[in-house]
Amino acid sequence: MVTEAVPGARSVTLGAWVGVGARDEPGELSGASHFLEHLLFKGTESRSARAIAETVEAVGGEMNAFTAQERTAYHLRLPGDELAFGLDLLGDVLSAPALRHDEVDAERQVITEELLQSEDEAEDRAHTLCYEALFPEHPLGREVLGSAQSIDAMDRSDIAGF
């Protein structure tokens, strides 16, 4: 495994592109990939959400993620000499998420707000309507964020199982 940055590099970007997205979700779990994306940043078995955020920010880094129809991506940008730290952190986030019950409920509210905001954004709404028209009755035709009903119905065990 590579643990040293490219000589002379001032920054390093690393990430994991996971081949699971909205197209892989059954109707009752619509939005599960995005829900899980949110929860992975909320802590691991050995790190709290605060510890993750503080350690990344302390070295001047950024950590983010996105969910799409066919994949979910988790990525970090760090100073070049922090590659080993980044690999350790990303590995921990992906392999040992805590999925705490209180965080599931908190993120449910955040995602519900995102759903409401997407209804107000003309570009987001147009994309959703286009996918619905192109792929009726198929997971690709559903909103990546899920629906208010599916997000409200999902519990920790549903998300962990997915």
Mean pLDDT value across the chain: 93
Compute the distance between CA of residue 42 and CA of residue 49 in angstroms, rounded to an integer. Answer: 4
With a CB cutoff of 8 Å and minimum separation 6, the contacts of 39 are 97, 99, 103, 104, 107, 159
CB atoms within 10 A of CB 82: 22
Whether the pLDDT of residue 1 is over 70: the answer is no
Quick: pLDDT tens for 35-76. Answer: 999 999 999 999 999 999 999 999 999 999 999 999 999 999
Integer angstrom CA distances of residue 68 from 48, 100, 119, 137, 151: 26, 24, 17, 18, 17
Whether 28 is catalytic is: no
What are the structure tokens assigned to 73, written together? Answer: 């991506």
Are 77 and 13 in contact by the 8 Å Cβ rule? The answer is yes
pLDDT category at 6 given cuts 50, 70, 90 is low
Residue with the two structure tokens 């000499």 = 81
pLDDT at 7: 72
Compute the distance between CA of residue 43 and CA of residue 144 in angstroms, rounded to an integer. Answer: 23
- Give 30: exposed, middle or buried? Use CB within 10 Å, 0-12, 13-18, 19+: buried
pLDDT at 9: 73
Q: DSSP label at 79? A: E
What are the structure tokens assigned to 24, written together? Answer: 């892989």
Query: Which entry of 4, 25, 37, 45 is annotated as an active-site residue?
Result: 37
